[in-house]
Structure 1
């Protein structure tokens, strides 16, 4: 029997009156010769299905979509593609949580990969919003779903990504909550005398992220030169404190320290040495901010300390990140170039800085107007 060429087909009428189109092809993944049949009430219908299958093969897609369910594929994607990637542990845990809580649930989770349509994804977005989820969370779920489906396309399980045909949920970037210099001073004064004062002050004066400050080690601090290096971040993942690399290259940065912060950190190190002499067992990991036994501080305890200090200062709706926002705002209002502020904050893109810190105080706006007007003032007439 002569070997059939790839994509060759035939059409025949079956005994029950329906039509069958047979397609002979080589599986692009295995190289194995296969045959697939397509059925229709008419010869034209059977030929149409076979023609579409040929077009899929020509485009490098599978001859037919996988019957694997969305739930099965999402978990496989997590266990292979995501696990093998360079994504941070916290990001992997987030993806797993979103798959478990949203993408594995019916009706979408029980649908076969090849039957998911753009309208099914749009229906998911509507359900998520109806549940009262924040728009940022809805956007995050959509992004994970789109990445998972793109992985299915790459693996030859489906011909195209239905999520790529859906307009992504958009969120309006809101201006960051910030405190005035006077409010930050009052908050820090309320934290003075606690174990968290030095940490909160360093964040307030350098714009460090909470995780970056908690991961700071003494070998990354040069008090003689008055600078520190941001090398890592500390987060709690599945109950454990984990130190990992910064998310972006821009997050790895060197920050200058003002003389007051150099003096504060020097005093902090001396106090830490006193504690070391009093404790029999000390965790020798070199963290700058630690518990009484040298272990890194728990982010949750830092948040509690911040909340208590803010309440005592008469401030509400603030968290540790508010100190970072307040530092950035103070720099911009003092006339520091937005590009320099972006570098200090470790933003991956200067546009993030411009969007988040687009606010300018009324006093600064008025001063700018007055300054320009004064420079254009007409000379006095004789």
Structure 2
């Protein structure tokens, strides 16, 4: 039976010389301007007719996929990481959050599926497997959001017709319990650090609630002691070292930092900090970027440290949340910072040419930045000296500042501005733990009704 071409690019169905029925549907126009015609075949005319109508329905409803071979989930996720996500998120977030979750969980378990053949039941099994692995609920939620965002963009680019992440019950996270220090405990800490080098670092943390990277990245040019104001405009972060070469793959394999390989004997969490296993590396190690050059052969090209044009290290980045903000200093803190500035001037003179001019408010004796891990260790030491039994994190100083502000009757929107929260709901998480406020509210109601 001869094929009958339909006018106006309409679909055609015919019996071929091979004995099978064939159907052609014009779905649109390809990138080069030629018609995008899709082929379907079957043993009977009814079978091909049903397939043709299905294609026509997808075309008419705007759910057509782009012409060409559909990539696998693994191929698309790497395109998303390398070409799309860098336009939306910072390099730090990409390296520390997106890439590890994609490379460690999404690609190994879903990567072989063709993108248009990924089904809801595949995701159900995937998330159930993550639960069995012991991943925290919030981590699973992050993985789901990354995958969903990547699939959403695949739909926009007509690679697939639907986002299967929207066809399942999304994983749910859990709120981390906020455990601020008591007012008396905060005062004990201030007593411990008053004569300590960089002691004002912790005074500011408890009084203003700066994030760790905001404190370590605060520079004197953003501190106005005359007006009693600091401007939180930047964070200081250490970015992963990367090749500066145009073709890093010509220098070696893809670079990694942490977490350690699963068989690493030193891959343990210590005091809540992640461990980077330098000493566990062999001479042919390719697991870390710029971490273990002394364990490598002289001609090693596997690490970013071997590349003369490498990028990374200490970098100032914009703060989270609402970004830039100005915060008024309590008068006692202004005096403490003035004394700290004088002490730092003496250190700079003593260091001479060895001083590194970072202009940091809190720094090492040579002016260089303080590593976040060293900052954490000092916090733990201070807690011990203050005889505080809680296993408090550095971030709990921020929670303490928020709680103390609310207990002093400061309006919650002012607290939101001080902390730099982008959403008021984040700040409201602190209101349920202020027993002082609840007691005061009860006392006021008592005076209102029984003032005698």
So what's the TM-score if we normalise by structure 2?
A: 0.78
Q: Cα distance, 1:69 vs. partner?
A: 1.0
Q: Cα distance, 1:62 vs. partner?
A: 1.8
Distance 1:114 1:34 in 2: 18
Q: Cα distance, 1:304 vs. partner?
A: 0.8
Kept in 2: contact 1:18–1:39 (CA 8 A):
yes
So what's the TM-score if we normalise by structure 1?
A: 0.91
> In structure 2, the residue corresponding to 1:37 is in which secondary structure?
strand
> In structure 1, the residue corresponding to 2:65 is in which secondary structure?
coil
Q: After superposition, where does 1:32-71 map in structure 2 within 5 Å?
A: 32-58=34-60, 59=62, 61-62=64-65, 66-71=69-74
Q: Cα distance, 1:236 vs. partner?
A: 2.5
- Structure 1 stretch displaced more, 20-29 or 89-98: 20-29
Q: After superposition, where does 1:259-270 map in structure 2 within 5 Å?
A: 259-270=331-342
What corresponds to 2:230 in structure 1?
Answer: 228
> Does 2:103 correspond to 1:100?
yes
Q: Cα distance, 1:128 vs. partner?
A: 1.1
Q: Cα distance, 1:19 vs. partner?
A: 2.4
Q: Which of 70, 79, 84 is the matching residue for 1:81? A: 84
- Deviation digits for residues 300-353 of structure 1, max 9, x if unmatched? 111111111113323322111111100111111222111111111110011111
> In structure 2, the residue corresponding to 1:238 is in which secondary structure?
strand
Backbone CA RMSD of aligned residues: 2.3
The structure-2 alpha-carbon separation of the partners of 1:63 and 1:263, relative to structure 1 and needing over 3 Å to count, comes to: closer
What corresponds to 2:408 in structure 1?
Answer: 334
What corresponds to 2:349 in structure 1?
Answer: 277
Kept in 2: contact 1:61–1:156 (CA 8 A):
yes
Distance 2:407 2:68 in 1: 56
Distance 1:34 1:88 in 2: 38
Distance 2:199 2:120 in 1: 51
The structure-2 alpha-carbon separation of the partners of 1:299 and 1:345, relative to structure 1 and needing over 3 Å to count, comes to: same
Distance 1:286 1:63 in 2: 53
Q: Cα distance, 1:4 vs. partner?
A: 6.1
> In structure 2, the residue corresponding to 1:270 is in which secondary structure?
helix
- Deviation digits for residues 69-92 of structure 1, max 9, x if unmatched? 111110111111112x14222211
Kept in 2: contact 1:287–1:296 (CA 8 A):
yes
- Structure 1 stretch displaced more, 62-71 or 173-182: 62-71
Distance 2:443 2:36 in 1: 79
What corresponds to 2:261 in structure 1?
Answer: none
Q: Which of 289, 304, 311 is the matching residue for 2:384? A: 311
What corresponds to 1:298 in structure 2?
Answer: 371
> In structure 2, the residue corresponding to 1:251 is in which secondary structure?
coil
Distance 1:184 1:5 in 2: 81
Give unmatched runs, 5+ long, in structure 1. Answer: none
Q: Cα distance, 1:138 vs. partner?
A: 0.6
Distance 1:259 1:159 in 2: 60
Kept in 2: contact 1:188–1:309 (CA 8 A):
no
Distance 1:361 1:42 in 2: 73
Q: After superposition, where does 1:72-221 map in structure 2 within 5 Å?
A: 72-83=75-86, 85-93=87-95, 94-106=97-109, 108-221=110-223
Q: Cα distance, 1:40 vs. partner?
A: 2.4
- Deviation digits for residues 229-267 of structure 1, max 9, x if unmatched? 01011222226222101233x231100001111111111
Kept in 2: contact 1:23–1:36 (CA 8 A):
yes
The structure-2 alpha-carbon separation of the partners of 1:378 and 1:367, relative to structure 1 and needing over 3 Å to count, comes to: closer
Kept in 2: contact 1:65–1:158 (CA 8 A):
no
Distance 2:134 2:192 in 1: 36
> In structure 1, the residue corresponding to 2:316 is in which secondary structure?
strand
Kept in 2: contact 1:7–1:54 (CA 8 A):
no
Kept in 2: contact 1:347–1:353 (CA 8 A):
yes
Q: Cα distance, 1:117 vs. partner?
A: 1.3
Q: Which structure is higher in helix share?
A: 1
What corresponds to 1:321 in structure 2?
Answer: 395
Q: How many residues align?
A: 375
Distance 2:93 2:69 in 1: 28
Distance 1:144 1:321 in 2: 25
> Does 2:423 correspond to 1:349?
yes
Q: Cα distance, 1:15 vs. partner?
A: 5.1
The structure-2 alpha-carbon separation of the partners of 1:5 and 1:310, relative to structure 1 and needing over 3 Å to count, comes to: farther
> In structure 2, the residue corresponding to 1:101 is in which secondary structure?
helix
The structure-2 alpha-carbon separation of the partners of 1:259 and 1:378, relative to structure 1 and needing over 3 Å to count, comes to: closer
The structure-2 alpha-carbon separation of the partners of 1:3 and 1:263, relative to structure 1 and needing over 3 Å to count, comes to: farther
Kept in 2: contact 1:6–1:26 (CA 8 A):
no
Kept in 1: contact 2:407–2:436 (CA 8 A):
no
Q: Cα distance, 1:299 vs. partner?
A: 1.0
- Deviation digits for residues 98-151 of structure 1, max 9, x if unmatched? 111111113x11111011112212222111111111111111110000111112
